[in-house]
Structure 1
Amino acid sequence: MIELRRAGAEEFTAELDAVIDTYTAAMRPPVEQLSGRQSIMRNHATFPDFACLFAETPGGQIVGFGYGFHGAPGQWWHDVVRRGLAERAGAGVAAAWFENALEIAEIHVHPGYQGKGIGRRLVRGLCEGRAERTAVLSTHDQPTAARHLYRRLGFVDLMGMFVFPGGYERYAIVGSTLPLLPPD
């Protein structure tokens, strides 16, 4: 049985090697991106109201993780995405989604443990009891299991075909009001 365990910023950064191992197995990024990703994750742990969940085996092996924080001006993702949404849909729409948002930065499950409801539990656990009005995140703009999961949880597309500055991959920016839809 996979258990979820809450971790604070200090414990999260102490477990970054295990986190990066799970991230690498799930996402298969180019090796040269891993040190930068680790640095980004370490920085995220300093953001306001940081929350992390680890999905662990009975032996304590991390096989999934998710984390988020309160989005605020001055955070790169927050500023880039809010500006992009304002350009496409108007400043009022962007404000409605980003003025008081939980930004879910990462949700990853090791491939050997996918399809067992762990990702759903991670998203629900991160959103549960949050004071923010909305939750927002980015995901590959493809018909993936992650996109299907987010839709089932009540997330709607805010922007599609979004390319981050300096990038080339297309992302969907999705959001949901909180609390999330009840389980089906």
Structure 2
Amino acid sequence: MIEFRGAGPEEFAERLETVIGIYTAAMRPPVEQIAGRMSIMRNHGTYPRFQCYFAELRESPPGPGLPAPEPKVVGFAYGFRGESGQWWHDVVYRGLADKMGREAADAWMGYAFELAEIHVHPDYQGKGIGRAMIRTLCAGRPERSAVLSTHDQPTAARHLYASMGFTDLLTKFVFPGGHEEYVIAGRPLPLS
């Protein structure tokens, strides 16, 4: 059985090796990028109103009277309140302001929950875990919008976000220093 368990910044930092393991299995980044990604994630844990959920597989005890094994983390999702001075927030805000105008950028980014990372281990993808984690993570958030970035390709993740009401705000967006194209997507909160 899969259960979702909330974790704050301290536990997130303690479980960063597990988080990176799932991220690496799901995204298959070049090895030289993993240390940098780990540093970015550690920093994210310090952002305002940070919240993480772990998707844990809980198995039954192996026999009567025996303790249940420790749950296995098969996915994680986290986000935080976006604010001026955060790299992703500022870059996306400028991109939205350039394309849609400052008023639209303020509407989307002025009081936004930034869904920074949502990953499920490949062995457990396609079972509704990602969707459930997003719903759990966004439940009760006070922000007026949720925003995220994902690769600008017809991926399962992009399909998931669209099916949950996220609309494309920017397409073919290239972050400074990068070369891959991303979509910036958003939707009003709360999730229906």
Could you tell me the TM-score, scaled by structure 1's length? 0.97
Number of paired residues? 181
Q: Is 1:152 equivalent to 2:163 in the alignment?
A: yes
Name the residue aligned to 1:69: 80
Name the residue aligned to 2:34: 34
Quote the sequence identity (%).
Answer: 65
Name the residue aligned to 2:64: none
| Displacement of 1:113 | 0.2
| Displacement of 1:61 | 1.4
Name the residue aligned to 2:47: 47
The structure 1 residue matched to 2:121, chosen from 110, 114, 129, is 110
Name the residue aligned to 1:12: 12
The answer for unaligned runs of 5 or more in structure 1 is: none
| Displacement of 1:125 | 0.8
The SS at the match of 1:26 is helix
For residues 63 and 89 of structure 1, what CA distance do their matches in structure 2 show? 38
The SS at the match of 1:6 is strand
My pick for the range that moved more, 108-117 or 54-63, is: 54-63
| Displacement of 1:38 | 0.4
| Displacement of 1:44 | 0.2
The answer for unaligned runs of 5 or more in structure 2 is: 59-69
| Displacement of 1:167 | 0.2
The structure 2 residue matched to 1:171, chosen from 182, 187, 190, is 182
Name the residue aligned to 1:3: 3
The SS at the match of 1:179 is coil
Q: Bigger radius of gyration, 1 or 2?
A: 2
| Displacement of 1:92 | 0.7
The SS at the match of 1:93 is helix
Q: Is 1:81 equivalent to 2:97 in the alignment?
A: no
Q: Is 1:143 equivalent to 2:159 in the alignment?
A: no
Name the residue aligned to 2:136: 125
The SS at the match of 1:97 is helix
Equivalent AA in structure 2 for residue 36 of structure 1 = G
| Displacement of 1:179 | 0.8
Equivalent AA in structure 2 for residue 26 of structure 1 = A
Q: Is 1:60 equivalent to 2:67 in the alignment?
A: no
How large is the Cα RMSD of the aligned pairs?
0.6
The SS at the match of 1:3 is strand
Equivalent AA in structure 1 for residue 6 of structure 2 = R
For residues 169 and 22 of structure 1, what CA distance do their matches in structure 2 show? 21
For residues 191 and 101 of structure 2, what CA distance do their matches in structure 1 show? 25
Could you tell me the TM-score, scaled by structure 2's length? 0.93
For residues 149 and 112 of structure 1, what CA distance do their matches in structure 2 show? 17
Runs of 4+ in 1 over 3 A off after TM superposition: none
